[in-house]
Amino acid sequence: MPTQQLDTYDDVLDALPIDPDGILAFRLPRKLQKRVSKLASRNNAGKLDDDEQLELQKFLALEATVRALKAKALLAASKKR
């Protein structure tokens, strides 16, 4: 990812009004965990249709964002200590 894009992404994450404790406690609802697991299994077996592939790609993009938010929340929490 080019640096400018990364900077913009980080700027947006930094600007979000997110409670660090809330983001660290966030977990996917069980129903969504099961769906993602099913999609991942089907993907590994090469059995996803186009709609399922798109659904999995969207989830993976969201997961990357949540991980980035959690990393920033952990950093913020460590600075408070």
- pTM reported for the whole predicted model: 0.75
For 48, half-sphere exposure in the C-beta direction (CA atoms, 13 angstrom radius) is 18
- Given a contact cutoff of 8 angstroms between Cβ atoms, the answer to whether 72 and 13 are in contact is yes
Q: Is the pLDDT of residue 19 over 70?
A: yes
Averaged pLDDT for residues 21-41 = 93
For 44, half-sphere exposure in the C-beta direction (CA atoms, 13 angstrom radius) is 6
Q: Is the pLDDT of residue 2 over 70?
A: no
What is the C-alpha separation between 71 and 28, in angstroms, rounded?
Answer: 17
Amino acid at 14: D
Question: Higher pLDDT residue, 23 or 54?
Answer: 54
Pick from 66, 61, 63: which is nearest to 16 by CA? 66
Averaged pLDDT for residues 53-70 = 93
Averaged pLDDT for residues 3-25 = 77
